[in-house]
Structure 1
Amino acid sequence: MKKIAIVFVVFIAIATIIVSKNLYDQKLKATATEAKQLMQENIEQEIQSEKEEAQKERLRLITENMDDAVAELVIGAVGNNEEIKIVITGSSVLEATAEMDSWPDIFMERLDEAYGHGVFSVEVVSYGDKGSYEVLHEKGYHLVVEKSPDILVIEPLLLNDNGITRIEDTLKHLDRFIDEVREVHNDIVVIVQPPQPIFQPSYYLTQVTKLEEHSLAKGYLYFDHWDMWPSIEDEALNEYILDDQRTPNEDGHHLWANFVSHYFISE
């Protein structure tokens, strides 16, 4: 009986040691697994942090050509995963044809290539051959308002108004148009740009000069893209304009898109 008791005690002791060893091994294994998982999470967090910093730096570099207000808008929207809506409005020169992309189409493609699809949306509101008074009288600004743009790129209808409306009135119509849009979207960024240049303009040059002076005085951002084209006194300019002198050809649209793209994409 005594031997049985001793054997039983020894058995219990051995069993206890084995169970304790198994529990200890399991605890070590669990600890090692947790440590490995924690290390993996830390590595992933570091990688993600490095990616985010790299993205921020690239975004800072790619927006270097922008004015501060535009850069802040773009960086803030990208950081919040919000789409940036650009509306480009003006005359029929904004319209693509079956034979030719317009400069806004080319510009949109370049934005997607540089920032990725879905960061920007670009919509065009064309008033065709209408003059500035007609657009204002018809409350054409509602077509822009309903699109809720963050950035408005507006080409005042200078060529459509040429010989019909005084530049002083065209500028008043421009201000009224912008005021109506800002009445609904008061934080919108407004960028004004002239239509394309033409060879040896007369009164049209006066219109464009006064447009730039007025835009800067009003605090609008101004795209002076004429510097990208051949001189208005150089017949080479006609190589970028259709025979009607009112519409860019394919090369002209690409040249115009180059200027606008360079502002939004500094790479």
Structure 2
Amino acid sequence: MKRFLVTLLAIGCIAVLIAGNKHWKEKTFVAAERNKQEVKVKTEEPEIDSEEAFIKLAANWPEQAKKNYQLALKEGRPFTILIAGSSNALGLDDTAWSTIVKKELEQAYGETIQVIVKSYDLTSRQFIAEDKLAELITVQPDVTLLEPFTLMDNGNVMISESHQTIEEIRSALAEANPEHVLMLQPPNPLYQANYYPVQVEALQKYADEEDIPYLNHWTAWADPDSKDIQAFLTDGDESTTPSEKGHQVWAEFIVDYFIEE
């Protein structure tokens, strides 16, 4: 009888230990799962906040571009902005407006976007003839800000042909990416030019008629008919390229458009 009671007591102790261990494991599992959920929520909240913050920065963008950017954010892929045009207009060094814009946009949007600059010392006719369009297609941009060689075409290419080149560029980029958004801008203003302003006015009219977003940065420059404009150009009266001050004004206009503070 004594052995039976000892055996029974031993079995009871083992049962209590097993039950206690099972209960402890269940509590530990529940606590661990709760911690996981808390960590997940804490991790996801900044991501949501960041996404909303990035969308706010892009408030001025064309609606299609904003939708495409939002989709890129959700998919976790970089959104590509291509800046293309003539070398004289875009500039080539660290003080060039295109370089400044690239730096500012990539700093503001972080790894969510990439900015690629492509410049050519060509007229629009030469650009097509030398198949440079293929280089733009290879970039697979989501948005292209194009300076369509307007000043390079001055005296060399008819306005209608210049506009035809824009259409070829737009069609080719849209074929490569159906959601692509093209934007246009003029090159820099000149001092007391004659035919050139007619070209620029025709460019803006073309953009309006084709419903292409047009960034008229000339509104940020000094009056092209006054001597004040000379400070924004490299060599005064005869200059066709922006000075450092001109590049800065141009950069500020484009940055203010792409980054809504």
Settle same-fold status: TM greater than 0.5.
Answer: yes
Q: Determine which of 96, 99, 104 is the counterpart of 1:110.
A: 104
Give the secondary-structure state (helix, strand or coil) at the position aligned to 1:219.
coil
Offset of residue 58 of structure 1? 1.0
Alignment deviations for residues 159-181 of structure 1 (CA, whole Å, 9 cap, x no partner): 11212333233222322333333
Between 7-16 and 212-221, report the one with greater CA deviation. 7-16
Q: How many residues align?
A: 258
Q: Determine which of 134, 145, 151 is the counterpart of 2:126.
A: 134
Give the secondary-structure state (helix, strand or coil) at the position aligned to 1:146.
helix
1:176-195 paired onto structure 2 within 5 Å: 176-195=168-187
- Let me know the Cα RMSD of the aligned residues: 1.9
- 1:186 and 1:36 map into 2 onto residues whose CA distance is 49
Hey, which bits of structure 1, 4+ residues long, moved more than 6 A?
none
Counterpart AA for 2:207: S
Percent identity over paired residues:
25
Between 163-172 and 217-226, report the one with greater CA deviation. 163-172
- 1:180 and 1:152 map into 2 onto residues whose CA distance is 12
- 2:174 and 2:221 map into 1 onto residues whose CA distance is 32
Counterpart AA for 1:229: W
Structure 2 stretches of 5 or more lacking a match? none
- 2:175 and 2:59 map into 1 onto residues whose CA distance is 30
Offset of residue 253 of structure 1? 1.9
Which residue does 1:3 correspond to in 2? none
Counterpart AA for 2:97: W
Counterpart AA for 1:228: A
Is contact 2:79–2:142 with CA below 8 Å preserved after alignment?
A: yes
Q: 1:28 to 1:185 in 2, by over 3 A?
A: closer
Larger of the two Rg values belongs to structure = 1
2:92 is aligned with 1:96: yes
Is contact 2:106–2:115 with CA below 8 Å preserved after alignment?
A: no
Which residue does 1:212 correspond to in 2? 204
- 1:86 and 1:222 map into 2 onto residues whose CA distance is 16
Is contact 1:200–1:232 with CA below 8 Å preserved after alignment?
A: yes
- 2:45 and 2:69 map into 1 onto residues whose CA distance is 21
Offset of residue 229 of structure 1? 1.7
Q: Determine which of 113, 118, 121 is the counterpart of 1:120.
A: 113
2:237 is aligned with 1:265: no
Structure 1 stretches of 5 or more lacking a match? 1-5
Give the secondary-structure state (helix, strand or coil) at the position aligned to 1:20.
helix
- 1:136 and 1:57 map into 2 onto residues whose CA distance is 40
Offset of residue 155 of structure 1? 0.5
Counterpart AA for 1:223: L
Is contact 1:104–1:122 with CA below 8 Å preserved after alignment?
A: no
Offset of residue 190 of structure 1? 0.5
